[in-house]
């Protein structure tokens, strides 16, 4: 039996109106990679924040190597040997790599650059991190920055390393490197807590899984004894049949012969999108797919007018239209749920209600505000419809979990009753349960006649909802697939192969 | 910081050093072109040294501002504090038992007092630095008026002796009309200012505190996570800036020899402009203190150029200063935004709508 590094016993934490954690326990042993799993709002983030001293717990006990400790601040946590690497890199981009590894540590008054750079070089080489000590951190890729953060933690003799969604913004190669670094650390006896939404990654590197649900402890399992489907069931708290339902629903969406909602000929954008033709009918769900950087998001941003179009004839509902800015698109009854919800979507400090009515309010005009009652009714209706988990309609959106924030933006656009709704990565960074809900919702809306463009990095997901896929490479549309062509294999080949190949 | 890494190991310059290089190059180009185009005064080493003589106090004030600006803060009270210091020191020196050491201590005490209060409020109560130092600015000018409305010329013997101290630089100078070689001189204030500059430089580069200032400006949330006491660090930044404002006020008095409420009007803005031209971004975390020095002398040189061009109206100075500041900021943001992944303040028209691919 490996020695226990960290033990959290019966942790409870309450926020106004929400019991974020109730009697949650978590045990980390040395030399293991331990996945912390749960849906959005399950309490993973809260637990991590309690552990790192960002939040104080209401009750419970944290033991480090058997001794009870009190963690009051991130500094305390560091001093105890508990280090955290967050999804958003928490280093200083303006400093050098070496500085970022050593700043704020130990007792010193003067910086010895030569010694610091030498130590940093040793550590970077030792861990195989491709960065130079004197390099400014901002000039490293995101993945390398994350590894630098890990190197810092390792050098601080961390006993417990917490990786909070470290892979969300990394590409595949960087993930591979990160995993080999994690395995390396495991062999050195470091206990690693790994929080992620990617199930495959859990099965790739982890030894143990602890599942949380709605702030409660569900159980601790070893990876072998918990196959994927069981894990999902444990996370959602029910047997999972939704996935199969979905594929049935998808086949129900037939090729509609109804009118075009939106047509564009020769549309190109200032964001580098090469001219392409695009049209979508009522009740159709299509998708843009392609590798990272292929121009999926750029295309839909051009359609919505979020990025300037350079050329193109646009017809909305059969009539010529000009879409120069998002407001034009909104007037043409087009909605757009942006890829980056934090930057382009939510306004974190405004309430859920204000965020929901925002788009409709803009269309109505700033001088005709909705009455309090109207706004309240809209908000309540959609909070209920989409099952948004919030303390109240008055709570600031920033306080909600990622999936619920996404639902709020979705509610915002549904409220405008668009004819054509563009969803750019609506399921990114949210848990599997909410994912399935959103997929189902998309299909239901389509069956009610709405035209929908659905973009996702997960091809399986797109295959489930889309009846037509537009394949992009290097900002060009290189193919369009429908019906029986819609297989993962075919899509991959279209992405990889030439345009002629795709037409075949 | 200032180790230029041109090509060394293929390492690109850090943002701070890149901006320093830009500032120094532009200053050098500006000065050399003026030497060729206008000749005259620009060829006289004394005129070059006068850039320092006339602006020793501004250099000190700008050093203080650079310290708070690197944390993404601001202190606009320094001009007011300078005026208050000149008035208080003048009153003290002209009064019974006035002496020079005591006046220096008084100057520093006034500056530190302002820095202390502003620092406490900004660091521990999260008050907006712009607002609280705006209050400090009004307060300082008001207090100066309360102490003495009329300008006072300092006639104190010891102080006058101190003012006369000047350092002749051997070998550098010019021939006066009567054919005598006159060595160029610098004033005592310049020596103090350069010592301050070197001290701040060393602090920025080699002390933990100095690096922490940069970390906070780079990303204060990260700095906190990295275990830096951001409140205390910020507090000391403002304290230092205040102290330097006090010292700057004393140098100002040393240079002009009179204390008045109207002294150093607009100096805080000049100090901010000098820091920005020197490469300190308002968003914090970037800048090299040597740049600030060049920022100060660039500001003055541009005015000299305007005068040499025959544009003698006082308004031209304001217009050129404004134009130059604007030029530098635009240039900086273009260069920064061209750097790959650099943390840059891009002007809105340069911002790509998607910085990350889909």
**A433 located within any domain:** no
> How far apart, in whole angstroms, are the C-alpha atoms of residue B351 and residue B144?
46
Q: How many residues are there in chain B?
A: 358
Q: In 10 A of CB A188, how many CB atoms? A: 10
- Which chain A residues touch B207 with a CB distance below 8 Å? 109-111
Contacts within 8 Å (CB) and 24+ apart, B178-186: B182/B46, B184/B45, B184/B46, B184/B49, B185/B46, B185/B49, B185/B53, B186/B49, B186/B52, B186/B53
Q: List, as ranges, residues 316-355 from A with C-beta within 8 Å of B.
A: 339-340
Q: Which residue of A has its CA nearest to B207?
A: A110
Instruction: Point out the domain boundary residue: A184, A211, A240.
Output: A240
B253 in a structural domain:
yes
Query: What domain range is A329 assigned to?
Result: 241-333+420-425+451-504
Rg, chain B, Cα only: 21
Is residue B3 included in any domain, yes or no?
no
Domain count, chain B: 1
Q: Quick check: is A446 in a domain? A: no
Give the pLDDT score at A122: 93
Collect all residues with Cβ–Cβ distance below 8 Å to A15 and sequence separation of at least 6: A391, A399
* Chain B: residue whose CA lies nearest to A75: B227
Residue A15 lies in a domain: yes
Residue that has been written with the tokens 């650059």 in this structure: A113
Is B344 among the domain residues? no
Query: How many structural domains is chain A composed of?
Result: 3
Q: Distance between CA atoms of B160 and A29, rounded to whole angstroms?
A: 75
Nearest CB to B358 within list A110, A139, A294: A294
Domain extent at residue B234: 10-339
Q: Taking Cα atoms as reference points, which of B280, B324, B298, B352 lies closest to residue B15?
A: B280
In order of B223, B275, B292, the CA distances from B64 in angstroms are 21, 10, 10
Instruction: State residue B6's pLDDT score.
Output: 45
The tally of CA atoms less than 13 A away on the side-chain side of residue A91 is 31
Is residue A19 included in any domain, yes or no? yes
CB B238 within 8 A of CB B118: yes
pLDDT at A428: 76
Residues 6+ apart with CB under 8 A from A287: A453, A454, A455, A456, A462, A465, A466, A468, A469, A470
- Asked if A326 and A349 sit in the same domain, the reply is no
For A299, which residue in chain B has the nearest alpha carbon? Answer: B358
**A310 and A383 housed in the same domain:** no
Q: Which helix (H) or strand (E) holds A127?
A: helix A113-127
Sign of CA dihedral A486, A489, A492, A494: negative
Are A150 and A193 in a shared domain? yes
Residue B115's pLDDT is 97
| B14 occurs within a structural domain | yes
- State whether A229 and A203 are in the same domain: yes
Q: Which residues of chain A have pLDDT under 50?
A: 240-256, 498-504
Residue A313, CB-side half-sphere exposure with 13 Å CA sphere: 4
Cβ-Cβ contacts under 8 Å, A294 against chain B: 357-358
List, as ranges, residues 212-241 from B with C-beta within 8 Å of A.
Answer: 212, 214-215, 217-219, 221-228
Residues of A in contact with B352 (CB under 8 A): 271
Q: What is the pLDDT of residue A448?
A: 87
Q: Which residue does chain B place closest to A269, by CA atoms? A: B353
Window 119-178 of B, Cβ < 8 Å to A: none
- Looking at CA atoms only, how far is residue B176 from chain A in angstroms? 49
Bridge partner residues of A83 (DSSP): A161
The CATH number assigned to the domain holding A216 equals 3.40.50.300
Q: Pick from A223, A240, A257: which residue ends a domain? A: A240
Q: What confidence score (pLDDT) does residue A240 get? A: 45
- Closest chain B C-alpha to A475 CA, distance in angstroms: 10
| Secondary structure, 3-state, chain B | CCCCCCCHHHCCCCHHHHHHHHHHHHHHHHHHHHHHHCCHHHHCHHHHHHHHHCCHHHHHHHHHHHHHHCCCCCCCCHHHHHHHHHHHHHHHHHCCCCCHHHHHHHHHHHHHHHHHHHHHHHHHHCCCHHHHHHHHHHHHHHHHHHHCCCCEECCCHHHHHHHHCEEEEEEEEEECCCCCEEEEEEEHHHHHHHHHHHHHHHHHHHEHHHHHHHHHHHCHHHHHHCCCCHHHHHHHHHHHHHHHHHHHHHHHHHHHCEECCCCCCCHHHHHHHHHHHCCCCCCCCCCCHHHHHHHHHHHHHHHHHHHHCCCCCCHHHHHHHHHHHHHHHHHHHHHHHHCCCCCCCCCHHHCCCCCCCC
Residues A483 and A495 in one domain: yes
What is the least distance, in Å, from the CA of B268 to any CA of chain A? Answer: 26
Give the three-state DSSP class for A291. Answer: coil
- Asked if B14 lies within 8 A of A94 by C-beta distance, the reply is yes
What pLDDT was estimated at residue B152? Answer: 92
Percent of chain B exceeding pLDDT 70 equals 91
Please indicate if any CB of chain B lies within 8 Å of the CB of A487.
no
Q: Return the number of other C-beta atoms located less than 10 Å from residue A448's C-beta.
A: 9
Does residue A218 share a domain with residue A161? yes
pLDDT at B220 over 70: yes
Cβ(A354)–Cβ(A346) under 8 Å?
no
**Same domain, yes or no: A218 and A265:** no
Residue at a domain's end among A213, A240, A267? A240
- Judge whether A342 lies within some domain: yes
Tell me how close the Cα of B77 comes to any Cα of chain A, in angstroms: 28
**Both tokens assigned to A421:** 């709704």
- Chain A residues with CB under 8 Å of B224 CB are 74
Is residue A443 one of the residues assigned to a domain? Answer: no
Q: Do A111 and B209 touch (CB under 8 A)?
A: no
pLDDT at B310: 85
Provide the chain A residues 400-459 that lie in CB contact (below 8 A) with chain B: 424, 455
Whether B338 contacts chain A with CB within 8 A:
no
My answer on whether A208 and A266 are in the same domain is no
Backbone angles phi, psi at B179, to 5 degrees: 95, -5
Q: What CATH number has the domain bearing residue B244? A: 1.10.3470
Chain B residue with the nearest C-alpha to that of A84: B225
Q: Are residues A307 and A358 in the same domain?
A: no
pLDDT digits (tens, 9 = 90+) for A169-189: 677 778 888 898 899 889 988
CB-based contact A134 B5, cutoff 8 Å: yes
d(CA B26, CA B22): 6
A444 in a domain, yes or no?
no
Cα gap B178→B176, rounded to integer Å: 5
- Interchain contact A95–B (C-beta under 8 A): yes
CA neighbours closer than 13 Å in the CB half-sphere of residue A14 = 5
Residues of A in contact with B357 (CB under 8 A): 292-295, 297-298
CB contact, 8 Å: A296 with chain B? Answer: yes
Q: Is residue A440 part of a domain?
A: no
pLDDT at B330: 87
Residue B194 in contact with partner chain A when CB distance is under 8 A:
no
Question: A176 and A65, same structural domain?
Answer: yes
**Partner B contacted by A99 (CB < 8 A):** yes
Mutate which: B216, B225, B231, B233, vs A, most A CBs within 10 A = B225
Task: Identify whether the C-beta of residue B121 lies closer than 8 Å to the C-beta of residue B127.
Answer: yes
Q: With CB atoms and an 8 Å threshold, state whether A78 touches B354.
A: no
For position A387, what pLDDT does the model report?
84
Whether the Cβ atoms of residue A92 and residue B218 lie closer than 8 Å to each other? yes
Q: Are residues A178 and A129 in the same domain?
A: yes
Cβ contact B353–A301 (<8 Å) = yes
* pLDDT computed for residue A191 by the predictor: 92
Q: How many residues in total does chain A contain? A: 504
Inter-chain residue contact B226 with A89, CB threshold 8 Å: no
d(CA B285, CA B267): 23
pLDDT of A293 reads 62
Indicate whether A207 and A73 sit together in one domain: yes
For residue B74, pLDDT over 60 is answered with yes
Mark yes or no for CB contact A91/B217 under 8 Å. no
pLDDT tens digits, one per residue of B312-348? 888 888 888 889 889 888 887 787 776 644 444 443 4
B358 falls within a domain: no
């Amino acid at each position: 039996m490996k020695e226990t590094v960290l033990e959290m016993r019966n942790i409870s934490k309450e926020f106004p109106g929400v019991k974020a954690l109730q009697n949650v326990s978590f045990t980390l042993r040395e030399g293991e990679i331990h996945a912390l799993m749960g849906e959005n709002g399950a309490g993973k983030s809260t637990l991590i924040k309690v552990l790192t001293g960002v939040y104080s717990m209401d009750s419970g006990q944290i033991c480090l190597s058997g001794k009870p400790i009190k963690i009051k601040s991130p500094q305390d946590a560091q001093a105890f040997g508990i280090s955290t690497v967050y999804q958003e890199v928490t280093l200083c981009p303006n400093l050098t790599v070496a500085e970022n590894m050593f700043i704020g540590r130990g007792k010193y008054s003067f910086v010895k650059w030569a010694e610091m750079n030498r130590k940093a070089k040793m550590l970077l080489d030792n861990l195989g991190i491709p960065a130079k000590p004197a390099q400014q951190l901002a000039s490293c890729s995101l993945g390398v920055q994350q590894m630098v953060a890990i190197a810092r933690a390792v050098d601080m003799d961390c006993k417990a390393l917490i990786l909070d969604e470290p892979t969300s913004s990394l590409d595949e190669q960087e993930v591979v490197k990160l995993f080999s670094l994690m395995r390396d650390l495991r062999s050195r006896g470091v206990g690693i807590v790994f929080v992620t939404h990617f199930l495959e990654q859990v099965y790739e590197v982890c030894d143990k899984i602890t599942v949380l649900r709605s702030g409660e402890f569900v159980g601790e399992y070893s990876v072998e004894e918990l196959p994927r489907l069981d894990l999902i069931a444990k996370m959602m708290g029910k047997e999972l049949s939704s996935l199969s339902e979905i594929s049935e629903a998808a086949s129900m969406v037939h090729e509609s012969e109804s009118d075009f909602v939106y047509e564009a000929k020769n549309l190109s954008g200032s964001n580098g999108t090469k001219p392409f033709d695009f049209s979508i009918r009522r009740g159709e769900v299509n998708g843009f797919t392609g590798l990272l950087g292929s121009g999926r998001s750029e295309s839909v941003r051009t359609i919505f007018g979020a990025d300037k179009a350079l050329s193109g004839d646009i017809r909305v509902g059969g009539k010529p239209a000009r879409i120069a800015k998002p407001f034009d698109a909104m007037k043409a009854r087009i909605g757009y749920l942006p890829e980056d919800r934090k930057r382009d979507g939510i306004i974190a400090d405004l309430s859920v209600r204000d965020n929901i009515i925002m788009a409709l309010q803009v269309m109505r005009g700033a001088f005709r505000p909705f009455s309090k009652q109207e706004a309240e009714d809209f908000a309540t209706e959609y909070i209920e419809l989409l099952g948004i988990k919030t303390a109240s309609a008055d709570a600031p959106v920033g306080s909600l979990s990622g999936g619920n924030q996404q639902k709020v933006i979705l509610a915002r656009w549904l409220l405008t009753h668009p004819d054509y709704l563009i969803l750019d990565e609506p399921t990114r960074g949210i848990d599997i349960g909410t994912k399935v809900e959103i997929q189902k919702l998309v299909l239901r809306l389509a069956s009610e006649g709405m035209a929908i463009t659905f973009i996702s990095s997960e091809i399986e997901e797109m295959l489930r909802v889309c009846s037509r896929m537009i394949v992009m490479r290097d900002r060009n549309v290189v193919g369009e697939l429908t019906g029986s062509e819609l297989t993962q294999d075919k899509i991959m080949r279209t992405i990889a192969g030439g345009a002629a190949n795709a037409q075949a | 910081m200032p180790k230029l890494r041109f090509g060394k190991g293929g390492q690109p310059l850090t943002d701070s050093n890149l901006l320093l290089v830009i500032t120094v190059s532009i200053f050098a180009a500006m000065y050399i072109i003026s030497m060729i185009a206008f000749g005259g005064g620009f060829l006289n080493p004394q005129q070059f040294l006068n850039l320092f003589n006339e602006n020793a106090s501004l250099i000190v004030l700008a050093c203080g501002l650079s310290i708070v600006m690197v944390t993404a803060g601001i202190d606009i009270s320094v001009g007011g504090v300078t005026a208050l210091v000149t008035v208080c020191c003048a009153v003290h020196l002209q009064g019974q038992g006035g002496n020079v050491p005591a006046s220096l201590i008084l100057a520093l005490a006034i500056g530190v007092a302002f820095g202390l209060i502003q620092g406490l409020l900004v660091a521990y109560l999260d008050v907006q630095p712009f607002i609280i130092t705006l209050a400090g600015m009004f307060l300082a000018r008001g207090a100066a008026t309360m102490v003495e409305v009329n300008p006072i010329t300092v006639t104190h013997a010891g102080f006058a002796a101190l003012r006369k101290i000047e350092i002749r630089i051997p070998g550098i100078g010019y021939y006066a009309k009567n054919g005598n070689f006159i060595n160029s001189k610098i004033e005592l204030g310049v020596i103090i200012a350069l010592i301050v500059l070197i001290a701040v430089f060393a602090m920025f580069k080699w002390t933990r505190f100095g690096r922490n200032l940069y970390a906070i400006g780079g990303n204060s949330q990260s700095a906190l996570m990295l275990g830096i006491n951001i409140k205390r660090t910020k507090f000391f930044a403002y304290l230092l800036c205040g102290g330097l404002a006090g010292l700057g006020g004393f140098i100002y008095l040393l240079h002009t020899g009179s204390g008045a409420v109207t002294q150093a009007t607009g100096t805080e803005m000049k100090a901010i402009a000098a820091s920005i031209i020197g490469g300190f971004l308002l968003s914090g975390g970037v800048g090299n203190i040597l740049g600030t020095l060049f920022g100060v002398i660039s500001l003055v040189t541009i005015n000299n150029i305007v005068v040499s061009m025959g544009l003698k109206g006082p308004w031209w100075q304001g217009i050129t200063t404004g134009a130059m500041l604007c030029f530098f900021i635009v240039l900086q943001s273009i260069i920064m935004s061209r750097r790959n992944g650099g943390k840059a303040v891009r002007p809105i028209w340069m911002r790509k709508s998607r910085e990350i691919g889909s």
